[in-house]
Structure 1
Amino acid sequence: MSRAPSAPRRGSSTRRRVVTAGVAIVAATSLAACAQSQREAGGGGEGGTLTFGAAGAPDLFDPFYASDGETFRVTRQMTEGLVGFKPGSSDVQPELAESWEHSPDGKTWTFKLRQGVKFHDGTDFNGEAVCKNFQRMFNQTGAGQNNALSYYWIENFGGFADGKTPSLYQACDAPDATTAVVHLTRASSKFPDILGLPSFSMQSPTAMDQYQANNVQAQGDSFVYPEYAKAHPTGTGPFKFASYDESNGTIKLVRNDEYWGEKAKLNELIFRIIPDETVRKQELESGAIDGYDFPNAADLKALRDAGNDVQVRDPFNIMYLGVTQKNNPALQNLKVRQALAYAVDRETLVKSNMPEGASVATQFYPKTVDGYADDVQKYSHDPAKAKQLLAEAGVPNLTLNFYWPTEVTRPYMPDPQGIYNALAEDLREAGFTINPVSKPWNGGYIDDVDNAKADIFLLGWTGDYNTPDNFIGTFFGTPTNRFYTAASPWGEELAAQLKAADGEPDEAKRNQMYQDINRKLMSEYLPAVPLSHSPPAIVTSPRVHGLQTSPLTAEEFASVSVSEK
């Protein structure tokens, strides 16, 4: 997928989330104590300013309406969710909720909230504020229901209060100031993990009302955002919004001295928008910035030799060769899709075009995610087999429009042109005729892919949280998507299987269901060809201390300090 921005090795792939209420609350309370002890153990207030080179400019600072990594990089410093993710991991831990428990059917979740927490405007965080946040998200109307705005709500919760589309969310109650009860329409494997996403962070109801947070208007193909989203984002986090100077591309945050936990060590956190990766590297070398994300793999040695700290996250992503079946009858033939899988030399691709630590993908998410199946059908590099399958399908000289993006670097796709060149050579060797089509990532590429103009294409996904649904549910969970339509003989069947697995409350049974789906994906369906898992790097100058990387590429800077030059 295109939306996520996208690491130390994640924790155990077997997690006990949807089990008994007693186990859930004990585990959550234990994590809460651990999190609190970690906060109390640290200091804070060392001062100084960190300047980080951002690859892109945010359109707004209201995380609910955002869907891109560069916006979330900023807003996650200011806002917090009921749950968060353990540092260095994708495992859920308490954040604004100290603990939680759920009903046996997995549809009612009771969150015990931290006391004494205030939003940046001085108003109280409490059960009423939690429910007002959920009501705000659920009651979107007009432009607020546009997928480009409420992307993460639609992807994870579904519909809105108008009932036009079913929603996972049903209601929220606040029995008292320290309790919030969230009611779901069904059990879901992704709950409460999804509440750690920046889009579902808690924001001040008072500030949202004062600055008309919901007053977003469509204007042609773009949107006009209210004052709240542009200048008054108000969360509970360790940093507060100070300013955004669009003329020089500088976003300034300042320390929240009233923060409920350990105070941030920095006085100021500045993001400088520098779209060109080469320029970001030059600015780091000159001392103008203190760090940046996704350095080119070819530069890592030189950056380290210069004394910089280069941290390489464990991969929590997937790059795939997408296949669009909607407009090309040949690609609706499983043998042709299998020919693509046999044609590509993924071992050589990983060794030659991906950073150290990358691995060949055999299915559509990493093995650390629940439901991974070790016995899926494998596709070795076999050009002769690919040619045989094309002949059997009656298209021995098949011509394909192969789309690849320019003006972009993704965590899973560090060098789009180099990757395209390698794969195109493999495909030609196997008998395909390749027509290359390149477009800027934000200048037509994603639109063309989503509108089924590409026959095959390069794309991928960095996980938002640790569930199978976040990967294969996102890709294939609806009968109509960028790979195929409901006319595909198995499209609705696969969507139904994914919905059933997501809603299964028994963990062992759910994992077995996902393993079965993964086997079918690689043998009977093969809607795309998984290629690789790539470890994205982040680099900081020797002056920067205390940065904890995240497999979700979701770093928080409250723990960071900067020594004097």
Structure 2
Amino acid sequence: MRAPRPKVAVAAVAVAALAVAGCAESNRDDNSGGSKKDTMVFGVAGDPKVLDPSFASDGESLRVARQVFETLVRPEEGGTKVTPGLAESWTPDAAGTTWTFKLRSGVKFHDGTDFNAEAVCANFDRWYNAKGLMQSPDVTAYWQDVMGGFAKNEDPELPPSLFKSCTAKDATTVDLAFTRVSSKIPAALMLPSFSIHSPKALQQYDASNVGGTAEDIKYPPYATEHPTGTGPFKFKSWDVANKTLTIERNDDYYGTKAKLKTLIFKTISDENARKQALRSGDIQGYDLVGPADVEPLKTEGFNVLTRPAFNVLYLAINQKGNPKLADLKVRQAIAHALNRQALVDSKLPPGAKVALNFMPDTVEGFNGDVTKYDYNPEKAKALLAEAGASNLTLKFHYPTEVTRPYMPNPKDIFELLSADLKAVGINVEAIPLKWSPDYLNATTSGTKHDLHFLGWTGDYGDAYNFIGTFFDRPKDEWGFTNAQLFAQFKDADTTADQAARVEKYKALNKAIMDLLPGVPISHSPPAIVFGKDVTGIKASPLTDERFSTGEFKS
């Protein structure tokens, strides 16, 4: 996952929250025989953008959503396999276009209303019939990534919708119909963006009334103050000024109740500050542990969990940004100029590896037999000379004020890559930009960027979620149109037979590396850390850690 083009401003939320200092105090052992610690403060790198996961694509918003909401299907704990969620089972019809979901009974939303088939259809109908700014890719990014368009597309560039209809057959049976077979179904339905909300709360708090403008989107009260799901935690408060968001145990949860009573997400943007807050006991965990801190924190006795590498860092080459970049030889020269192994060895955590595809080798469809671009500065110089680009100057954007699982320190990565480019005669104009919104806006829209790096953490275990996200249609990030490649994606996605589809993804990976729209750099295993006395939480390659299973040792 990664943040989209975020031209948004969440409306100020005037709500009270528990002060972190007070919560930390309540977490201390009571020598007089008090109750077991039941409040955890978890340090996060940035504020959530919105509390309605229908509108979310940033990691911090989705982290909160995963505790408060549930989806029809969900990833297995600690893995990527599709397992039951609010649906106990699911089966396709003979054509593979209609899926029947058998729902759990006895489930209630946080507002006390019943979860049932009608509630499921109310949610899908809400998404499908979105209008106005809800059709902006900055608002419903994941719906558009998975389903394409809407019932009535207001932008002619939007594709037809994959989703067709939802039918409640009885209280615990629902049919989801699609316009064609798709590899995305049912796996994509475990994305937090397909969380099931209380229809009553959606209506009561005007959940679909997205206002403002495309440059300054204003979310309705539901999305900032009243998120209402079925999960093991329920929303309590969001103190924007003090950068804390508090959720509390849902004591009416149908499944195993959360062991923690209160969970607070505290924004601490600086990684060293998060580390010091952990050591001082002000927080009991944080994400995005720096590679150099993994072993020291383990030695100190902290509970460091390393996620499997399920991401990719890539260098994007915008073919519209500079006419020379439309020349394949120039793109090949850039690839041969980069010493990716040196970057992996010096800047990424143990277990990181150089990427051969734009997806990790744990996903079916990975192809080890693709064109490889070894580190070869002399070959890079020769290719530039052949292309008449020996005096090439490129604008190289890189982000500031951010840490991502696939890029622990963006400035260090930029310095290594730019030094490699300069060594083969490519002049680099450095353009540092604040991650959100400046960097994301600059690199995923328009034509002013030449080179930049971004990455992706997979949402589910399918090749389309990686390479399809990047290359299945024209995108401003890459600046190219290739009708044959786009047709290959459509063919692979609509292939019902799994074995045949995997072979088509392998062919796509080969075609992508021949076209070389960018250079896959690395796959990195990010780490998450908890306090010495915190146990019960399992690392997830999808960052789907379940805090409801966490507890403090006695």
Instruction: Give the structure-2-normalised TM-score.
Output: 0.91
Partners in 2 of 1:234 and 1:483 — Cα distance?
38
Give the whole-Å Cα distance in 1 for the aligned partners of 2:150 and 2:437. Answer: 30
Q: Which residue of 1 aligns with 2:276?
A: 282
Structure 1 segment 72-221 matched on structure 2, within 5 A: 72-164=62-154, 165-219=159-213, 221=215
* Equivalent residue number for residue 469 of structure 2: 474
Shift of 1:355: 1.0
Structure 2 partner of 1:25: none
Distance in 1 (CA, whole Å) between partners of 2:354 and 2:480 is 28
What secondary structure is seen at the aligned counterpart in 2 of 1:122?
coil
Q: 5 Å matches for 1:278-357?
A: 278-357=272-351
Q: Which amino acid aligns with 2:111?
A: D
Give the Cα separation in 2 of the matches to 1:2 and 1:175: 36
DSSP-derived class of the 1:435 partner: strand
Deviation at 1:443, TM superposition (A): 4.5
User: Aligned residue for 1:417?
Assistant: 411
RMSD over aligned CA atoms reads: 1.5
Aligned partners of 1:358 and 1:533 also within 8 Å: yes
**Are the equivalent residues in 2 in contact too, given 1:105–1:505 (CA < 8 A)?**
no
Q: Return the match for 1:494 from 485, 501, 513.
A: 485
Q: Deviations over 1:180-220 (max 9, x none)?
A: 10000011101111110001001100111111111121246
Cα-to-partner distance string for 1:390-424 (whole Å, 9 max, x where unaligned) = 11111122111111111111100111111111111
Deviation at 1:432, TM superposition (A): 1.4
Q: Does 1:3 align with 2:31?
A: no
For structure 2, which runs of at least 5 residues remain unmatched after alignment?
5-34
Counterpart residue identity of residue 291, structure 2: A
Partner of 1:483: 478
Deviation at 1:469, TM superposition (A): 0.9
1:243-271, Cα deviation, whole Å (9 max, x unpaired): 11222111111111111111111111111
Q: Which residue of 2 aligns with 1:52?
A: 42
Looking at structure 2, the residues matched to 69 and 554 of structure 1 have their Cα atoms a distance apart, in angstroms, of 10
Are positions 1:535 and 2:525 aligned together?
yes
> How far does the alpha carbon of each residue in 1:462-504 deviate from its partner, in whole angstroms, 9 at most, with x for none?
1111111111111011124310233xxxx22211111111111
Note the C-alpha offset of 1:507.
1.1
Letter in 2 for 1:3: A
* Counterpart Cα distance in 1 of 2:542 and 2:262: 24
Structure 1 match to 2:385: 391
**Maintained 8 Å contact 2:291/2:347:** no
Q: Does 1:506 align with 2:501?
A: no
Q: Give the secondary structure class of the aligned counterpart of 1:331.
A: helix
Number of equivalences: 519
Asked if 1:519 is matched to 2:510, the reply is yes
In structure 1, what is the equivalent of residue 54 of structure 2? 64
Contact 2:99–2:176 under 8 Å retained in 1: yes
Partner of 1:453: 448
Does the Cα contact within 8 Å between 1:319 and 1:458 map onto a contact in 2?
yes
Deviates more, 1:169-178 or 1:217-226: 217-226
Letter in 1 for 2:89: S
Report the Cα distance in structure 2 between the residues aligned to 1:46 and 1:62, rounded to whole angstroms. 32
- 1:68 is matched by which residue type in structure 2? D
Name the structure 2 match of 1:379.
373
AA aligned to 2:519 is: V
Q: Residue 563 of structure 1: CA displacement? A: 3.6
Say if 1:231 and 1:243, in contact at 8 Å, map to a contact too.
yes
**Once the two structures are superposed, what CA deviation does each residue of 1:346-372 show, in whole Å capped at 9, x if it has no partner?**
111111111111001011000111111
Judge conservation of contact 2:447–2:476 (CA < 8 Å) in 1: no
Does structure 1 conserve the Cα–Cα contact (< 8 Å) formed by 2:397 and 2:431?
yes
Once the two structures are TM-superposed, the CA of residue 3 in structure 1 deviates from its matched residue by 2.2
Amino acid at match of 1:391: A
Opposite residue 192 of structure 1, the aligned amino acid is P
Q: Does 1:432 align with 2:426?
A: yes
Deviation at 1:427, TM superposition (A): 1.3
**1:222, distance to aligned residue in structure 2 (A):** 2.0
Tell me which amino acid in the other structure corresponds to 1:109. Answer: W
Given the two structures, how large is their TM-score scaled by the length of structure 1? 0.90
User: What letter matches 1:453 in structure 2?
Assistant: K
* Matched letter for residue 460 of structure 2: Y
| Structure 2 partner of 1:255 | 249
1:227 and 1:455 mapped to 2: Cα distance?
A: 40
